[in-house]
Amino acid sequence: MIIQYEDYSKLIQKGAWKFYKQYGRAIRRDFQEFEAIGNLAFCKARTHYNANISAFSTYLTRWVHCEMIQFVRREIRHCYTVDMDGIPERIDLVGDSLRFVEFKCGLTDDGAHVVDLATHKNGRLFKKSVAESLVQNGWQRRRIKNAMAEVKRALAIV
C-alpha cells in the first residue's frame, strides 16, 4: 500500500485546526505552525506504520494528536517567563530590619512570598529566576504576574 500525503492532508489540517483553535492564541502561534507539526507527524507515522495493526488514518490521527500535545506543552513552558523589568537588579531594602518588615507588611501573601524567594540572606532583593520557582510550586501565570506587579508597585514607593 502506497501512502501519499495528498490523501491525508485534510486529516492533518483538521487536527491542526483543532489544536490551533484551542491553544493558538494562548501560545501565540499561527495555524501554519500547527500544520507544520501535523506534517512532521505524518512523516513519523508513515515511517513507523504497520498495516497489520490498524488503518493508516487511525494511526496518523494518533500521531498528529500526540505531536500537537507535545508542541503545545513545550510552548506553554516557554510562555511562563514573567516580565521582571520593573524590578532592579539589586535593591538594598535593609538599612535596618524594620524598613524591610514594613515593606513586606504592605504586600499581600503572594507578594511577600515573591520577596521571600528573591531575598538573599543579607536582605538584598536579587533578580533571579523567581518565576521558574513559582511555576514549579504550582502557581498559575496570572498569579505570578499579579504578585510581580504588586512588588513593582511597592518598590516604586520605597
pLDDT 10s digits, 1-23: 789 999 999 999 999 999 999 88
What is the model's pLDDT at position 16?
94
User: How far, in Å, CA of 44 to CA of 70, rounded?
Assistant: 14
64 residue type, one letter: V
Q: Is 74 in the same domain as 98?
A: no
Share of the chain above pLDDT 90, in %: 37
What is the model's pLDDT at position 152?
74
Q: Is 68 in the same domain as 131?
A: no
Q: Is the pLDDT at 124 greater than 50, yes or no?
A: no
In the chain, how many domains are there?
Answer: 2
What is the model's pLDDT at position 129?
60
Q: Is 67 in the same domain as 103?
A: no
Q: Is 70 in the same domain as 94?
A: no
**Beta strand 124-126 with 90-92: parallel, antiparallel or unpaired?**
antiparallel
Q: Which of 92-101, 110-119, 135-144 has the lowest mean pLDDT?
A: 92-101
Q: Is 51 in the same domain as 21?
A: yes
Q: Is 141 in the same domain as 120?
A: yes
Confidence band, pLDDT 50/70/90 cuts, at residue 78 = low
What is the model's pLDDT at position 128?
46
Average confidence score pLDDT of the chain: 76
Q: Is 99 in the same domain as 70?
A: no
- DSSP assignment letter at 119: B
| Mean pLDDT of all residues in 65-91 | 68
Confidence band, pLDDT 50/70/90 cuts, at residue 148 = confident
- 84, part of any domain: no
- 85, part of any domain: no
User: How far, in Å, CA of 156 to CA of 91, rounded?
Assistant: 11
125 bridge partner residues:
91, 119
What is the model's pLDDT at position 91?
45
- 130, part of any domain: yes
Q: What is the residue range of 33's domain? A: 5-79
Share of the chain above pLDDT 70, in %: 66
